[in-house]
């Protein structure tokens, strides 16, 4: 595993998450994009990419690379960057969910509105963490160019 390989794995996962989340948010807001993902049959793709990417990173850390490369890739700087971005993500996610709960019209509540709110929360979470994955991967890309 190199910085560039890790950049590719994380960047692709993040951009796919951002694409699907943006699509879903725009659709929930009523914007017509001129094209449609038929019946959301492929909405599982971001989750699968995240699990496959995490599995690949985990397996490469424990089984595929030498200790020297792992010590360079998974150092305190990388951990600090991940913790900072994770904290920002959970903070943004919490505020976003609070706002989504606040703007609901609870007097006319129905199963359809509840379903829509669940989609909104999921799309917002995928968008936030997709953007954070992309921003994390940019650090890896810069690291691959400098070293």
- How far does Cα 49 stand from its chain's mean position? 10
Can you tell me the distance from the alpha carbon of 119 to that of 115, in angstroms, rounded to the nearest whole number? 6
Interval 53-63 mean pLDDT: 83
* % of the chain beyond a pLDDT of 70: 86
- How far does Cα 125 stand from its chain's mean position? 8
- Rg, the chain, Cα only: 18
Q: pLDDT confidence of 42, banded at 50, 70, 90?
A: confident
pTM, two decimal places: 0.76
DSSP 35: -
Higher pLDDT, 10 or 81: 10
Biggest CA–CA distance in the chain, Å, is 60
Cα-based angle 115, 126, 101 (whole degrees, multiple of 5): 45
Residue 37 has pLDDT above 70, yes or no: no
DSSP 61: I
Q: pLDDT confidence of 145, banded at 50, 70, 90?
A: confident
Per-residue pLDDT at 15? 92
Place of tokens 């903070």: 91
pLDDT in tens, 89-134: 888 888 888 887 887 777 888 888 888 888 888 888 889 989 988 9
Helices and strands of the chain, counted as H and E runs: 5, 0
Residue 11 has pLDDT above 90, yes or no: yes
Phi, psi torsion values for 29, nearest 5 degrees: -85, -5
């Amino acid at each position: 595993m190199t910085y560039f390989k890790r950049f590719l794995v994380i960047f692709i996962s993040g951009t796919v998450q951002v694409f699907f989340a943006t699509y879903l948010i725009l659709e929930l807001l009523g914007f017509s994009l001129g094209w449609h993902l038929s019946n959301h049959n492929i909405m599982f793709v971001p989750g699968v990419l995240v699990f496959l990417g995490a599995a690949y990173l985990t397996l490469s850390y424990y089984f595929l690379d030498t200790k020297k490369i792992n010590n360079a890739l998974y150092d305190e700087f990388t951990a600090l960057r991940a913790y900072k971005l994770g904290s920002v993500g959970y903070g943004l996610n919490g505020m976003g969910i609070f706002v989504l709960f606040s703007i609901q019209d609870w007097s006319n509540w129905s199963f359809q509105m509840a379903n829509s709110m669940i989609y909104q929360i999921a799309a917002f979470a995928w968008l936030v963490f997709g953007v954070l994955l992309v921003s994390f991967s940019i650090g890896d890309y810069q690291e691959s160019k400098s070293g």
